[in-house]
Amino acid sequence: MRDFAAYLEIMADDFDADRAECERQVCEGKRYVEGRWSSMYVGDFLRAWAAWLQDGCIREGALFKDDVDPPTWQSLALQIHAAHVYE
C-alpha cells in the first residue's frame, strides 16, 4: 500500500510538472502545446482509465477479457500509468 501511495504522489508530481511546462510554453508564445498527459482534468483522466479498461478487459473481444486477475496495488498502478496517456 505504501508503494502505491508513493506511486500516486509521483504521478501527481509528474502531472503538475507537465502542466507547468505546458503553461511555460504558452507564455513563450507557442500556439499549440501538447503535454505528456492526455487529460488536463481528473474527470477526463478517470474517463480515460475507464475507457482503457473497457477496451482492454471488459468489452466483447477485448484483448485481455479472459486474462484478468483480481485487482492488486501493482495492477492499479499499471492501469493508472496506461490511462494517463490513453486517448
Tens of pLDDT, residue by residue over 55-85, are 888 888 888 777 777 888 888 888 888 877 8
Residues 18, 34: Cα–Cα separation, whole Å: 9
Please check the confidence at residue 22 and state whether its pLDDT lies above 90. Answer: yes
Please check the confidence at residue 47 and state whether its pLDDT lies above 90. Answer: no
Supply the pLDDT for residue 28: 97
Domain that holds residue 60: 2-83
What is the CB-side half-sphere exposure of residue 32 using CA atoms within 13 A? 0
Please check the confidence at residue 87 and state whether its pLDDT lies above 70. Answer: no
* 68 vs 35, higher pLDDT: 35
Which residues are within 8 A (CB) of 57 and not within 5 positions of it... i.e. 6 or more apart? 64, 65, 68
Please name which of 36, 21, 16 lies closest in space to residue 84, comparing C-alpha atoms.
36
The pTM for the full model equals 0.67
> Per the structure block, which three cell numbers stand in for 32?
499549440
Residues 60, 45: Cα–Cα separation, whole Å: 23
Domain count for the chain: 1
